[in-house]
Amino acid sequence: MRTLITGGAGFIGSHLSEYLLRQGDHVTVLDDLSTGSLHNLRDVAGHERLTFVEGSILDRSKVREAIAGADRVFHLAAAVGVRRIVDHPLESLRTNLHGTEIVLDAAREVNAIMLLASTSEVYGKNTSDRLTEESDRILGSPLKSRWTYAAAKGIDEAFASAYWHTYGLRTVIVRMFNTIGPRQTGAYGMVVPNLVGQALRDEPLTVFGDGLQTRCFSYVGDVVPALVRLCEEPSAYGEAFNLGGDLEVSILRLAEVAIELLGSRSTITLVPYAQAYGPGFEDMRRRVPDNTKAERLVGYRPTTRLEQMILNVAASQSAAEGPRDTDLTT
């Protein structure tokens, strides 16, 4: 298999690159290194089946160069992170809309299977007590910068679906729910690397709002094999799949567990949303995936426990040259 990974030097992309190289693929990584870094690929640097192309998904000729000969594309490149989206809504729209269309066009030219990395953000302000199924959606206002990402990714999904229905391009949509693990940076707002870093430095842990909002964190080592299996399953074409964790935890509890587990002397500070992200910010109160669809089709089942995820993230931040992620090497 010849595989292109856009955003392959990012957090999830670098784990996927390693996984596919271990499987024997020829892997090309296209990354503009805006939020990703070559350091993330250090364990596979110089690999004979790895090609790195530096460039943006907005650069059509770079995308064409990188995709030449590819059988499949994992389109992970995007402007991500609530902090970054709130600060740079235009960048998010341009990269996530125009860039995806360019990648879809290029995939069509070489008839590659195309997996679109989407997000649980597309569920918007879903506050229901039910588990979130693939068909649920409550849009946030496009005038609130937080929802820019959700709006763009929602349209990306519509594009992927339309390429499937119009051209027969084999597309698979995957909505990832708070994927975490080694190499994820807290710089763009992600809560786990943020809180773990604060705990390791014995600084106060910043919990936004009342801390009772919940998430189901999933581990990159569980998610990556499922991405690959979904791409290999013809009945996945034109469909969307949730991939999330199975433990619902409040952010306050997450902070307590991190402090306990890491033997930190930190305390917890509640920070009002307006102070964290600016006035009028809207959070998602509850975000719980229904993973049944991916479980039925490719046997997806999250197995890594929250405590293990936190320890692996902490090890990644502590180690001078970064950790070997043992879960991924098994």
Report the catalytic residues.
149
190 in contact with ligand UDP (CB under 6 A): yes
Q: How far is the CB of 191 from ligand UDP (least distance, A)?
A: 4
Find the part of the chain contacting ligand UDP (CB under 6 A) among 110-118, 132-140, 162-170, 188-196. 188-196
- Own/partner pairs, 208-211, CB within 8 angstroms, 24+ separation: 208/251, 208/270, 208/271, 208/272, 208/273, 208/276, 208/277, 208/283, 209/251, 209/270, 209/272, 209/273, 209/283, 210/252, 210/270, 211/250, 211/251, 211/252, 211/255, 211/268, 211/270
At CA 194, angle to CA 189 and CA 208, rounded to 5?
Answer: 65
CA 52 to CA 235: how far, in whole Å?
31
- Own/partner pairs, 187-191, CB within 8 angstroms, 24+ separation: 187/35, 187/81, 187/83, 188/35, 188/80, 188/81, 188/82, 188/83, 188/84, 189/81, 189/82, 189/83, 189/84, 189/86, 190/81, 191/215, 191/251, 191/254
Q: How far is the CB of 283 from ligand UDP (least distance, A)?
A: 5
Residue 27 φ/ψ, nearest 5 degrees: -120, 125
Indicate the residue among 9 and 284 with the shorter CB distance to ligand UDP. 284
Indicate the residue among 94 and 253 with the shorter CB distance to ligand UDP. 253
208 in contact with ligand UDP (CB under 6 A): yes
Cα Rg, the chain, nearest whole Å:
19
Q: How far is the CB of 225 from ligand UDP (least distance, A)?
A: 23
Please pick, from the candidates 92, 215, 236, 309, the single residue that binds ligand UDP as defined by CB under 6 A.
215
178 in contact with ligand UDP (CB under 6 A): yes
213 in contact with ligand UDP (CB under 6 A): yes
Q: How far is the CB of 326 from ligand UDP (least distance, A)?
A: 24
At CA 176, angle to CA 173 and CA 177, rounded to 5?
Answer: 150
Indicate the residue among 230 and 251 with the shorter CB distance to ligand UDP. 251
248 in contact with ligand UDP (CB under 6 A): no
Q: How far is the CB of 317 from ligand UDP (least distance, A)?
A: 14
Question: Rule CB under 6 A: which of 249-278 touch ligand UDP?
Answer: 251
List the structure tokens of 192.
Answer: 């786990």
Indicate the residue among 18 and 222 with the shorter CB distance to ligand UDP. 222
Find the part of the chain contacting ligand UDP (CB under 6 A) among 2-10, 37-45, 165-173, 206-214. 206-214
283 in contact with ligand UDP (CB under 6 A): yes
At CA 158, angle to CA 155 and CA 162, rounded to 5?
Answer: 140
196 in contact with ligand UDP (CB under 6 A): no
189 in contact with ligand UDP (CB under 6 A): yes
207 in contact with ligand UDP (CB under 6 A): yes
Report the interface residues with ligand UDP, using CB under 6 A: 82, 178, 189-191, 194, 206-208, 213, 215, 251, 283
